[in-house]
Amino acid sequence: MAKNDLIGGALWEQYSDKVSSRMDEPKFRGEITEEQAKALGAKLIVADWGAEACGDAVRLFWAVDPKTNTILDARFKSFGCGTAIASSDMIAEMCIGKTVDEAIAITNIDVEHALRDDPNSPAIPPQKMHCSVMAYDVIKKAASLYKGVDISTLEEEEIVCECARVSLRTIRDVIRINDLKTVEEITNFTKAGAFCKSCIRPGGHEKRKYYLVDILKDVRKEMEKEKMAEVSETKEFKSMTIVQRLKKIETVLEAEIKPILAQDGGSMEVVDIKEEEGNTIVYIHYLGACQGCPGATAGTLMAIQQFLNEKVDASILVEPV
């Protein structure tokens, strides 16, 4: 069947020639029988997976060497669209020669990239990305059967965007680190929401546990609370007596800075603390290997001050004596 018979107009151009070829003539479609697996000295694994969103289904066959956990052969059967067939065919090929643990590491993004004609042009339209996700999920199912564990134990993180395999932790971290304020920025940084878009907000073709709009809202609220807490803490620090400030600073240095210096045989101690023109000046004396070290008055000194600025108060200045 030619691509022109499957799709028309501009949409046709969004499918790579590799996808078209594997739609029409899959290289690894078929099955592995018990007899065939036995002849290879392998264990037969048969895993089924389906996508509720579109009704596609795939069955993956593995012949695994139980001595090395290496996948000696792989085949598939697929019911669904041409993209599901092409993705399943590529998955089967990518599994062969890998150990089961190496196969689990294959992502749907790896599958899509392998189907590209050139590295910079997507192999399939964004709305079909879920097909490569289905192929990826069947690998996890096969691995869980081989290992004799529940499939959930193979998922290390909570996945928000199935298409790009972006975790909840990654999205939360990216929002915080880059101070993101829009869903579009999240997509630009992580690719979450760039494909089928079901994870952006409720109402997409597939119901999700987490949505980008809600994650963004929650993280921004947390950031605002933390900012207010920092302001409150700053006011609290400035209202402290000199002795109280010294105790707070020494507590932080003891827990965070001194262990780092000790790794290189050095240390430090606070010898005085003063308030001048709204700043809290902390005078320190280096000990051990830190004495005479060029970094003691440059990089190390700035690192100590920056740490105290972030953890205690922005008005702190550190001076060596």
Q: At what angle do helices 129-147 and 82-95 cross, to 10 degrees?
A: 40
- Report the chain's C-alpha Rg in angstroms: 28
What tokens appear for 282 in the block? 């902390």
Which of 215, 188, 185 has the alpha carbon at shortest distance from 202?
Answer: 215
- Residues 85-129 pLDDT 10s: 998 999 999 999 999 999 998 877 788 889 999 888 888 876 666
Which DSSP symbol is given to 278? Answer: T
- Catalytic annotation, residues: 54, 131
- Residues 213-234 pLDDT 10s: 999 999 999 988 887 776 655 5
What pLDDT is attached to residue 232? 59
- Residues 19-52 pLDDT 10s: 999 999 999 999 999 999 999 999 999 999 876 5
What pLDDT is attached to residue 64? 98
